[in-house]
Each structure stands twice: as structure tokens, then as C-alpha cells.
Amino acid sequence: MQKQLAIISLALVLNACGDGNDDIFRGVDGSSSSRLMGIYNGSLTDGNLSQRSILGVIEKNSNFWLLYSPPGSDGYTGIMHGRFSLSGNTVSASDIRDYNFALNQIASVALNGTYTADRNLQGNLNNVANQPFNLIYNVNFSRDNTSISSLVGSYSGRTTTLSNDVVTAVNISSSGVITGTVGNQEPCAFAGRVSTENNAPYYTINLVFTDSASSSCLNGTQEVNGILLSQSQQERQTIYILAENTDQRDAVLFIGE
């Protein structure tokens, strides 16, 4: 069985200031029916005033992942990962890790803005008026995930990090064990686990990469933690996994089928 898998070390995670239930946030009107947690699509303007598309994931623990495209193009070329704080309907985050795979570099980013629950997040990057972002809540993709059984299968695609872009084969078992090989020549391996997250539209994931005898395995012998998204459109299932090294020196993005 072939499915499309996208493992991304990019998504958007947000969670803070709950109302007694850690995955529900009070909206501007004080109600407890609105959630910030979910999947978002949108755009941002970078420091060169170029437009980039965004896929964002907001988790229940105030972390966020933003996967962004090349300027004016499709696909994804980098990941931002950070942690929000909320005050009323305002959102702020500093020391965001920006992993730009195209430029092979890491930068620190800040953002400030406002939110309307179940609708959008908007504001500016680095407190600069001409670097706006706007993220629209995706109702269809923000439904709770089902079970590991919907992920079971074999996948192939490419894994991208700051210094690598290589063919990858992945397998997910019914128990949530994930294994894979990276590269065609002298491939390295990884293993870990995918877990469901209650009342959330994403899965959590933990992977450990191991070196082959004579080649560096992406991040070296490194552990990465992140999220996995599963989206189905027109009988096509796409899975995204976004993860970050425990030492925050690199991130991993996989997209495949």
C-alpha cells in the first residue's frame, strides 16, 4: 500500500492561558468554545519583501510550527518553531528558531499579532510593519485525528535538513512504531514512535537517527521530536512530519508518498 507521506520538521504549535481545559482557549468574547489549536494556511512577507506560503500547526502546549515556501513558489523550504504567549486576543513570540533549508542557516525570529479564535492569526514578523503574516484556520484539516491505523503503511519521499535533501523510505506499523532508511548509497537508518494526541488534529513523533559506517546520517546520531500531520484530498493521503533536534541545531522535513 502506497500513501503519500510528508515528514516535516515544520508545523505551528500554540497553547497557553487555558480555561481549565488545556486544549481550549477563551475567545475575545470570553467564551470557552473557541480553539486556537488547529491547522492553518496563509502567507507571510519576508525581509526581502517576498511573499511566501505558510502551513501552520498550533498544538495544545503553546508551541507552534510554521512551514514556509520559497519566495513566490510552491513547495516548502524552511521551518519556524517556537512558543507563543497570549494576553487577551494578542499573540507574541520571541526567540523563534527559523531553519532555512535553502540558505543552510538558522536565524532567530520574533512575531506579534492578534487572533480571532477559529478564524485567523495575523500580525508582523520582527515588529516590522512591512513583514506581515496572516494565517487562516482550516476547518476541514483541524478535525481531531482518528487512530494510528489510518497511518499504517509504507511511504517514500525525500527528507530535508539544513545540509541534506535525500530519498527516504518509511514504514509505520499498527502499534505506532516507525522505521526508515535515508539515502540510496550507504543509507542510514532511523526508528521511533508515532503517538496519538487526544482531541488534536496531529500526532506526536519521536525519532532517533543513526550513522552508517562511513557517512553522516542527516543530523548525525541525533534524536528529533515533533509532529505528524495526515491530510487526505481526492483519494490521496499526504502525511507531514515536522521535527527538531533536541539541541535545536537542525530540523527535519520529510515529504513523500
Domain 38-142 classification at class level: mainly beta
pLDDT for res 80: 95
The domain segmentation of the chain, as residue ranges, is 38-142, 144-256
Q: Which three cell numbers stand for residue 168?
A: 527516504
**Do 38-142 and 144-256 fold alike per CATH?**
yes
DSSP character at residue 2: B
Fold of 144-256: Lipocalin (2.40.128)
pLDDT for res 11: 35
Cα–Cα distance measured from residue 207 to residue 224, given in angstroms and rounded to the nearest whole number: 5
Positions in the chain whose pLDDT score sits under 70: 1-35, 185, 211-216, 218-221
Contacts of 186 (CB under 8 A, 6+ apart): 212, 213, 214, 215
Burial degree of 256 (CB within 10 A; 0-12, 13-18, 19+): buried
pLDDT, tens only, 175-217: 999 999 888 767 788 899 999 988 889 999 999 888 655 456 7
pLDDT for res 216: 61
pLDDT for res 188: 82
Cα–Cα distance measured from residue 67 to residue 57, given in angstroms and rounded to the nearest whole number: 9
